[in-house]
Structure 1
Amino acid sequence: MLAEIGLALSVVCAGLWSGLLLTLTTILHPIYAAQDGAGFAAELRRFLPVARKSPTNYLLVIGLVVAPVIALIGGAPPWLTGTGLALTVIGPLLISSRLAEPNYDVILAWDPAALPDDWRAVRRRYFALNWIRAVITWIAFLLFLAAFWSYL
C-alpha cells in the first residue's frame, strides 16, 4: 500500500511538473524568443518573481523527491523508481538551484534599456536549462508511470 501511494504521488507530481515545463518550453519560449532583448528582459521581470515564489513549485519539487522515497520504502520497483528519483533530484532540484536560479539572478539584474553584450548567450542558457529540465522530468514521469503500472 505504501508503494502504491508513493508511486501515485510520484506520477502526479512528475506529471504536473512536466506540464508546467511543457507550457514553458513550447508556449512561452517562442513568445520570449520573438522579442528583442528589452522585451525579453521586461517579460522575465514580470514572470520570474512570481514563478520563483510560487507555492506550486515548492510543493511539486518536494513531492518529486519525497514521493519516490516513500514508494521505494514501500517496495516499489527499485530500478524504475530509483532512476526516476535520481532524475528528479538532478533536474528539478539541482539544475534548478545550481544553474537556473543563478541565471535568473543575472537576467533580473539587467536594465532593459541597457542590456549587457552577452544577453543573447544568457537567454540561450535560460532556454537550454528549461529544455534540459523538461526532458529529464518527462523521462522521470515515464519511469514513475512504468513503475506504477508494473507494481499493480
Structure 2
Amino acid sequence: MRKRIYLEQGSLALAAFVTGIMAGFFWTYTFNVNLAMLEVDGETYATVQSLFNENVRHPMFFTFFFGGGAVSLLALAANWRRDRTLPFWLIIAAGALYVGGIIIFTAKVNLPLNDYTESWNPQALPTDWKATRDAWNEANALRTGTSALSFILYLVALAIHPSKRH
C-alpha cells in the first residue's frame, strides 16, 4: 500500500516539477526576453531570435519539453485507481492542457513562425517582420498561461490527493 502511495504522489510531484520548470521557462521568456526584444531594431531581432531558436534545441530542453507529456501519462497511469476522485480529473486536465497547449500548439504555431524567422536575411527583412514577432510573442504568452495552469492543476491534485488522508 505504501509503495502505491509513493508512486501516486511521486508521479504527481514529478509532473508538477517538470511542468513547473516549463512554466518558468515560458514565463521568463514572455516577461523578460520578449519585452527586451520589443526594444531592438529588426536586424537585431532577426539575428537574436534565430540564435535563441538554434540554441534552445538541446537535450535538457527537449527532456523537459517532451517530458511534460510523458510524466502526465505516468501520473495518470499511477493514479488510475483514483478515477472517482477530483485529483484524478485534475491530472487529466493538466495533462491535456500540457500536451495540447504546449506540445501540439508549439508544433502548429510557434515552430512554423520560428522556421519563417530563421529564413530571414537580417539586412533585408520582410515587411511583416513586426507582425510575425508580435504573433510569436502572443503565442508564447499563451504557452505561458497554459503551462502555468497545468502546473497549478498538478499542485492542487497533489495537495488534495486522497492518499493524504491515510
Q: What's the TM-score, normalizing by structure 1?
A: 0.94
Alignment partner of 1:84 is 2:94: yes
Query: Which residue type is aligned with residue 61 of structure 1?
Result: F
Matches within 5 A, 1:19-98: 19-51=24-56, 53-75=57-79, 77-98=87-108
Letter in 1 for 2:125: L
After TM superposition, give the deviation of residue 80 of structure 1 in Å.
0.5
Structure 2: distance between partners of 1:125 and 1:142: 26
Amino acid at match of 2:96: A
Instruction: Give the alignment's Cα RMSD to 1 decimal.
Output: 1.2
Following TM superposition, by how much is the alpha carbon of 1:5 offset from its aligned partner in structure 2, in angstroms? 1.8
- What pairs with 1:8-27 in structure 2 (closer than 5 Å)? 8-27=13-32
Partner of 1:149: 159
Point out where structure 2 has 5 or more consecutive residues left out of the alignment. Answer: 1-5
Matched, 1:130 2:134: no
Distance 1:124 1:106 in 2: 13
Counterpart AA for 1:58? F
Cα deviation code 1:24-83 (max 9, x no counterpart): 0111011101112111101112211011x1222211123211212222222252211000
Contact in 2 for aligned 1:6/1:69 (Cα 8 Å): no
Answer yes or no: is the 8 Å Cα contact 1:100–1:129 preserved in 2: yes
| Aligned residues of 1:32 and 1:40 also touching (Cα < 8 A) | yes
Please give the TM-score of this superposition, normalised by the length of structure 2.
0.87
Contact 2:50–2:114 under 8 Å retained in 1? no
Q: How many angstroms does 1:90 deviate by?
A: 1.3
The count of residues paired between Structure 1 and Structure 2 equals: 151
Residue matched to 2:3: none
Identity of aligned residues (%): 26
